[in-house]
Amino acid sequence: MCRALVLDLSCKSEYALLALVELSAHYAEGEPIQIRQIAAEQHIPDRYLEQLLAALRRAGLVRSQRGAKGGYMLAREPWKITLLDVIQCIEGADAQSADRAKNPKSVAGNVILDVWKDAVQAAETLLKSQTLQDLVEMKDARNQVEIMYYI
């Protein structure tokens, strides 16, 4: 049977988020960024990152430009992309996980499922409230702190 209602930060999601933070940081420049560059900056295997960006593109979160001087850029402003958008797109690629989660064969099963859904929704609400822009700002704030240690 194997129903699964998963809330899980895998490498996959983390890689995707790192890449999108990188794209967000350079969003204002308006020029595409190459996979290689992102991979080097965030220490992600480039061949793997390519697949993740492809999924993000199909989901409409990023746009790509082929050919020389090509690369990737955000499809919309970084404050209009929530963390939930990213994770759902990456993790729920098959996406039927939620669909086939609906034949508990006992009353107890239904009760458990309901409680679990509440818990997942609590987490999702929090992830929905944070955008890529927020991540970039938090990152910059921490970098600032690190620099101050040098003075």
Residue type, 91: E
Which position among 37, 42, 82, 133 is part of the footprint of a copy of itself (CB under 8 A)? Answer: 42
Token digits of residue 56: 């993000």
Which position among 5, 40, 41, 54 is part of the footprint of DNA (CB under 7 A)? Answer: 54
Which position among 17, 19, 21, 53 is part of the footprint of DNA (CB under 7 A)? Answer: 53
Task: With both helix axes pointing from N to C terminus, report the angle between 35-42 and 11-25 in degrees, rounded to the nearest 10.
Answer: 110
> Does 128 participate in binding DNA (rule CB under 7 A)?
no
Which position among 19, 27, 71, 81 is part of the footprint of DNA (CB under 7 A)? Answer: 71
Scanning residues 69 to 88, which ones bind a copy of itself (CB under 8 A)? 83
User: Strands 71-74 and 62-65, how do they pair?
Assistant: antiparallel
> Would you say 5 and 97 are in contact if contact means Cβ atoms under 8 Å apart?
yes
Scanning residues 7 to 36, which ones bind DNA (CB under 7 A)? 10-12, 15, 34-36
> Does 43 participate in binding a copy of itself (rule CB under 8 A)?
yes
Rounded to whole angstroms, the maximal C-alpha distance in the chain is: 64
> Would you say 36 and 46 are in contact if contact means Cβ atoms under 8 Å apart?
yes
Residues contributing to the site for a copy of itself (CB under 8 A): 1-11, 14, 17-18, 21-22, 42-43, 83, 105-112, 114-116, 118-120, 122-127, 130, 135, 138-139, 142-143, 146
